Amino acid sequence: MKTARTFSILLLLVPGLVRAAEISQYTTSLSVAPDGTGHAACTLVIAGGSSETVEVPLSHGAWTNFRVAEASDGLRLEPPQANSGAFRVTLPAAATAPSRLTFDFDVPQAFVKAENAAPGAKLTIPAESRTLRYAFVNTQVTLIRDFRVLVTLPEGYRFQAIREQLPRQTKSEVEPRVRLGGEGGRQNALLRLANLRQGDDTSMVLEALPDRRSLLWLVAGVALAGLYLVGFRDLVARNKE
């Protein structure tokens, strides 16, 4: 009787002692080509118990050519079905350290023309604007500790503005939700969010434009300055002094 009671207490305690699996890092780097297609490379660091199965939500909804580039020894992966939003990973049988998984895929429409108005219809933003919409929902039970998506624009493009960044930055967060940066002459935007539980989501909408400045500003500015210097020269006329 005493043994049975001890056994049942142990049974109750075991799930509490084993830490649930979690994705401690989920980093996606999406490089966008001038034609609007993109190539995404993802790196995951997964911590959990031996042979534990983890459902990993994919960071993009529409994708093609899913490829595994690198995986920790013993990590087993069931590649996602076409149009699937998640895939399954089984951790190594003797997992002592967090496992690492790197995979990549193509995104057919990462970067779309912002507005396709009918000929003659009113445009609300410039015709050459491109919009980059990104949204992610943690559809699975696995907690994601640190989620980051870095989107790099094609050369010759520049972000006009961050139109949306959600969820809003909280008081305890130092960094904004989306930070702009750059590398090798290409501008990028980094979206980050910590501790995504099932159902938590994050998104950004960015507007990009070809990086060129109209000379109209220069012409108008110089002309106005010249006109003012001529028209208002009485302000500093000698007889006023």
Partner 1 sequence: MEKMTLSAKPRDAQSVTERWMRYLGFPGGIALFLLVLYLPPGTGLSAAAQSGTACFLLALVWWVTEPFPTYVTSLVLMFLLLVTRTSAAKPIMDVLGMEVIWLNLLAFILSSMLVKTRLAKRMSLFLIVKFGRKASWALLAFVMIQLALAPLIPATAARCVMTLPLMIVVASIYGSSEAHPNNFGKNMFLLNLAGISVLSSISMTGSSANLIAVGFIQSMGGHRIYYMDWMRAGAPIAIVTMLIMWFVGRKVIFPIPQAEQVPSVEGGLPLIEAQHAAMGPLSFQEKKALAIFGVVLFLWMTDIFHMRWFGVEISAPFAALLGAVLVLFPRWGVLQWQEADIPWHLLIFSAGAYAGGLALDDTGAAEWGVRMLFGGMNLKAIPFGAAFTIIVAVMMYSHLLTTSKTVRTIIMLPIIITMSKALGWDPVSLALPAALTIDWVVGLPISGKPNVILFSTNQYSVIDNFKYGITVCTVGLVLLVLSAATWFHWIGITPSFWAMPK
Work out whether 183 is an interface residue with partner 1 (CB under 8 A).
yes
| Rounded Cα gap, residues 92 and 68, in angstroms | 16
By the rule CB under 8 A, 224 interacts with partner 1: yes
Count of residues of this chain found to bind partner 1 when the rule CB under 8 A is applied: 33
Of 85 and 176, which has the nearer Cβ to partner 1?
176
Asked if 102 touches partner 1 (CB under 8 A), the answer is no
Task: Give SS3 for 197.
Answer: coil
Asked if residue 127 binds partner 1 (CB under 8 A), the reply is no
Evaluate the CA torsion angle 34, 39, 41, 42 in order and state its sign.
Answer: positive
Q: Which of 161, 167, 195, 197 binds partner 1 (CB under 8 A)?
A: 161
H or E segment and range at residue 165: strand 157-166
Q: Is 230 in the site for partner 1 (CB under 8 A)?
A: no
Q: Does residue 221 interact with partner 1 by CB under 8 A?
A: yes
The token duo for 217 is 């500003």
Which among 85, 104, 102 is positioned nearest to 41, based on CA atoms?
A: 104
Q: Are strands 22-32 and 38-47 parallel, antiparallel or unpaired?
A: antiparallel
Q: How far is the CB of 168 from partner 1 (least distance, A)?
A: 12
- With binding defined as CB under 8 A, does residue 236 bind partner 1? yes
Cα–Cα distance, 182 to 132 (Å, whole number):
16
| Residues of this chain that bind partner 1 (CB under 8 A) | 126, 158-162, 171-172, 174, 176, 179-183, 187, 209, 211, 213, 217-218, 221-222, 224-225, 228-229, 232-233, 235-236, 240-241
